[in-house]
Amino acid sequence: MKRVRCPKCDNYITFDETKYESGQSLLFECPECGKQFRIRIGVSKLRATQKEENPDENANENGFGSIVVIENVFHYKQVIPLQYGDNVIGRYMKGSKTNTPIETNDPSIDITHCIINVCRDKKGKLRYILRDGPSYTGTFVDNEILGDKERRVISDGSLFTIGATSIILREAQTKDTDSI
Ligand SMILES: [Zn+2]
C-alpha cells in the first residue's frame, strides 16, 4: 500500500499501488474535504516513499529518544523523535499546534491526546513522564488507564495506548553503549 496527501486538507489517502502501472495517472477524491486531485505513479516516487515506510526504530535525531507508533489499519508505522520538555502527542491536523503529531486516520486519537515530558533527574539521567491530555478516550499504560492527574514514569520499551493505537518508547541510547 502507498499513501498520498490531500493537497487541500493534508489528510492521507492510502491506495494499493500494485493495481496500477508505473506512469499511470490516478484520480483521487479526498474523503475528508472532497477535493479531487491527480497523481502520476512514477518509479522514482515509489522508491522515495520506501524509506518513509521503513523508519529507523532507534532514530534519535534530537538526542532525547523517540516514540514508535505501531502500524495498524489507520496508519503506517512511524518513528517520531522526542525533544526535551513537553512532547504533545495527538492526531495530525493541518494547523494544530501539537509538536509530536501522528499521521493517522484513527478517529479515537484526540488532537491533543497525551504528553510525554522529557527531563533529567538529579544525576542527569533522562526521565520520561507520561500524562493524559486530557483526552476523551484516555491514555493506557499496560492496559491500565491513567488517572486525571496521574504522572507515570515510563522507560525504554514501555508500551502505551491512545485510541486504537499502540506506541513504544525508545529512550536515547547513552554514548558508552554505542557499538564501534
Ligand atoms: Zn482533503
**Contact of 118 with 127, CB cutoff 8 Å:** yes
* Single pTM value for the model: 0.71
Can you tell me the distance from the alpha carbon of 22 to that of 161, in angstroms, rounded to the nearest whole number?
38
pLDDT of residue 47: 46
pLDDT of residue 52: 53
Task: Evaluate the CA torsion angle 19, 22, 26, 31 in order and state its sign.
Answer: positive
Can you tell me the distance from the alpha carbon of 109 to that of 135, in angstroms, rounded to the nearest whole number?
8
C-alpha 7 – ligand 1 centre gap (Å): 7
Q: Which residue has the higher pLDDT, 135 or 58?
A: 135
C-alpha 34 – ligand 1 centre gap (Å): 6
CB atoms within 10 A of CB 111: 16
pLDDT of residue 41: 74
First to last CA, the chain: 36
In the numeric block, which cell numbers belong to residue 141?
A: 499504560
Instruction: Tell me what the mean pLDDT of segment 123-133 comes to.
Output: 96
Can you tell me the distance from the alpha carbon of 102 to that of 178, in angstroms, rounded to the nearest whole number?
29
C-alpha 36 – ligand 1 centre gap (Å): 8
C-alpha 106 – ligand 1 centre gap (Å): 16
pLDDT of residue 38: 86
pLDDT of residue 48: 45
Instruction: Tell me what the mean pLDDT of segment 109-132 comes to.
Output: 96
- pLDDT tens across 9-60, in order? 888 888 888 888 877 888 889 998 999 988 877 655 444 444 455 567 777 7
**Contact of 33 with 13, CB cutoff 8 Å:** no
Can you tell me the distance from the alpha carbon of 132 to that of 144, in angstroms, rounded to the nearest whole number?
12
Task: List, as ranges, residues with CB under 5 A of the ion ligand 1.
Answer: 6, 8-9, 11, 30, 32-33, 35
C-alpha 82 – ligand 1 centre gap (Å): 28
C-alpha 93 – ligand 1 centre gap (Å): 11
How many percent of the chain have pLDDT more than 70?
A: 88
How many percent of the chain have pLDDT more than 90?
A: 52
